[in-house]
Amino acid sequence: MFVLNFYSPIFVDQLKRGRKTATIRLGDKSNKYRKGEVVLITVGFQHSPRERIFEAVIDSVEVKKVSELSPRDIEHDNPEFRRLDEMVHFLEQIYGRKVETDDSVTVVRFSQISDRPSEVQERMRPSGPRQN
């Protein structure tokens, strides 16, 4: 199983509440993450203990230019951001280098895997007598 790790502890709450459902990574990571793959979502620093948050399935992996990031891409990565300049500044802090609008990024969207999500339970519940 692959790990999708986040370094900032501020993401723990966003992940657990389902507010963070994507990550934007600098560069083309399409060979590392694939749609349908199950990953372990963790938070922590390299060479340090990491907190297991949940398992997730990768819903999509999309490579695009920084300039092509939509407000929705940005919001799914960081619910506090809406604008491209905020995302660029954040990526520069994470990667420790200047990020240009023509740099490639990979948008990885994921969904939490839970034992029995309430939405699935609702769909499985009989809705009363059915006629054939």
Give tens-digit pLDDT for 57-67.
999 999 999 99
Buried b (16+ CB within 10 A) or exposed e, 17-30: eeebbbbbbbeebe
Structure token digits, residue 113: 């895997």
Binned at pLDDT 50, 70 and 90, residue 131 comes out as low
Task: Please provide residue 115's backbone torsions phi and psi, each rounded to the nearest 5 degrees.
Answer: -60, -40
Do strands 22-26 and 104-113 pair parallel, antiparallel, or not at all (unpaired)?
antiparallel
Q: Is the pLDDT of residue 127 over 90?
A: no
> Could you tell me the pTM of the whole model?
0.84
CA distance 131 to 9: 52
Q: What is the pLDDT of residues 79-116, one digit of tens each?
A: 989 899 999 999 999 899 999 999 999 999 999 998 76
Q: How far apart are CA 55 and CA 43, in angstroms?
A: 12
CATH of domain 2-115: 3.10.400.10
Asked if residues 84 and 37 have their Cβ atoms less than 8 Å apart, the reply is no
